[in-house]
């Protein structure tokens, strides 16, 4: 799960910078790979995407902690993340 969030954060950042995800792979040993392309990319865009893995994982971890504040929050958060994982396949 954490590897998927990490790699999807790279992919989301690439999309925000005007690029697209070529492929996203998560391997059984816990490693992963996100291949992307950005047209007219400059150093800022590539640095933003490179740093998005850990930053995005932290952001989504905070969102999950916010879901814990209500009674239905954990159920909604888990279903939401599960749906995102299924839709990304």
What confidence tens digit (pLDDT) does each residue in 13-44 have?
888 888 888 888 888 898 988 888 888 878 88
For the chain, the distance separating the N- and C-terminal CA atoms, rounded to the nearest angstrom, is: 13
Q: What is the 3-state secondary structure (H, E, C) of 40-76?
A: CCCHHHHHHHHHHHHHHHHHHHHHHHHHCCCCCHHHH
pLDDT digits (tens, 9 = 90+) for 45-87: 888 888 888 888 888 888 888 878 888 888 888 888 788 878 8
Query: What is residue 53's predicted lDDT score, i.e. its pLDDT?
Result: 86
In angstroms, what is the C-alpha Rg of the chain? Answer: 14
Q: How many CA atoms lie within 13 A of 75 on its CB side?
A: 3
Please state the pTM of the whole predicted model. Answer: 0.73
Query: What is residue 17's predicted lDDT score, i.e. its pLDDT?
Result: 87
């Amino acid at each position: 799960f954490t590897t998927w969030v990490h790699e999807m954060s790279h992919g989301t950042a690439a999309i925000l910078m005007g690029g697209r995800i070529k492929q996203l792979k998560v391997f059984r040993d816990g490693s992963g790979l996100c291949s992307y392309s950005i047209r007219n990319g400059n150093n800022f865009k590539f640095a933003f995407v490179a740093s998005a893995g850990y930053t995005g994982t932290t952001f989504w971890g905070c969102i999950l902690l916010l879901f814990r504040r209500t009674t239905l929050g954990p159920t909604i958060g888990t279903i939401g993340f599960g749906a995102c994982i299924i839709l990304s396949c």
